[in-house]
Amino acid sequence: MRAAVYRTFGGAITVETLPRPVCPADGVVLEVKATGVCRSDWHGWKGHDSDIVQHGLPMVPGHELAGCVAEVGEGVRSLKVGDRVAVPFILSCGGCRECARARPTICERQEQPGFTRFGSFAQFVALPRADRNLCLIPDGVSFVEAAALGCRTTTAYRAIVQRGRLTPRESVAVFGCGGLGLSAVMVAAAQREEEPEGEAARRIIAIDVNPGARLKALELGATVCPPPPHDIFSLTPPPSPPPVPGYPRQRTHV
Ligand SMILES: [Zn+2]
Ligand SMILES: [Zn+2]
């Protein structure tokens, strides 16, 4: 198969012919149909990631992917050849302390394509733990859309919905409108659309020095997108409940 490979940190990335990966007993071989390029790929290539250092070079990068199942391991029950699937960045184990606490993204024995094993800048990629981690893509969702879900969108969803617990009347400011920031804008906008008419008082404020990024944020659901210099505090409603004395509530509100 053809794959992009680097053999030294920060060195040339070349397209080479490599052996097609062997299918894990608990996993699949996926034919890659779409893959994203993430800042984490850059960090890995620069030698900043201990998992890649531990794995050793060469490495095939790429961890934001979607594709078709080309081969199925004997232990896999939920997938068959031809299935369209999306893949999370973290392939969790299901048996460690963090997985038991429903926190699979910090699994203690996680596998990551492009970091602990060869990734998706290739025609085929081998993925273990398939029953637990891979998700079927619904009709109407393209491979390109699905490839963005496993890293940037899950990170943004965790921040906005699970950790931030944004209520219908709270505003949110997103600093930096790259892939991750634009995903946060989309998650906030999707959540806003679910509110009954008149309830969605929320502002989605997108901040970026790049005019193109600000335009994209508006296109994807941002309601306010001021050019720099930004006066963020003037764009948010008064804080509620009243600020704790000595604690600058209005600054934490954004
Ligand atoms: Zn990523
Ligand atoms: Zn685990």
Cα–Cα distance, 217 to 222 (Å, whole number): 5
Taking the CA of 42 as reference, the closest ligand is 1
Residues 14 and 132 in one domain: yes
- The residue out of 147, 166, 194 marking a domain boundary is 147
Mean predicted lDDT score pLDDT of the chain: 89
Residues 23 and 103 in one domain: yes
Region 4-19: mean pLDDT is: 97
- The residue out of 96, 113, 147 marking a domain boundary is 147
Please give the tally of structural domains in the chain.
2
Residues 87 and 188 in one domain: no
Residue 249's contacts (CB-CB under 8 Å, 6 or more residues apart) are: 239, 242, 243
CATH of the domain at 111: 3.90.180.10
CATH of the domain at 219: 3.40.50.720
Residues 248 and 165 in one domain: yes
Ligand 2 is an ion; residues with CB less than 5 A from it? 92-93, 96, 99, 107
Please tell me the predicted confidence (pLDDT) of residue 246.
52
What are φ and ψ of residue 179, in 5° steps?
Answer: -60, -45
Residues 165 and 40 in one domain: no
Find out whether 201 and 168 touch, Cβ atoms under 8 Å. Answer: yes
CA–centroid distance, 212 to ligand 2, in Å, is 40
Region 197-211: mean pLDDT is: 79
Residues 14 and 113 in one domain: yes
CA–centroid distance, 245 to ligand 1, in Å, is 40
CA–centroid distance, 95 to ligand 1, in Å, is 24
- pLDDT, tens only, 152-180: 999 999 999 988 998 877 889 999 999 99
The whole domain housing 203 covers: 154-253
CA–centroid distance, 98 to ligand 2, in Å, is 6
Region 192-215: mean pLDDT is: 80
- The residue out of 104, 122, 147 marking a domain boundary is 147
Nearest to 26 by CA among 105, 180, 130: 130
- pLDDT, tens only, 108-144: 999 999 999 999 999 999 999 999 999 999 999 999 9
Please tell me the predicted confidence (pLDDT) of residue 253.
37
- pLDDT, tens only, 18-63: 999 999 999 999 999 999 999 999 999 999 999 999 999 999 999 9
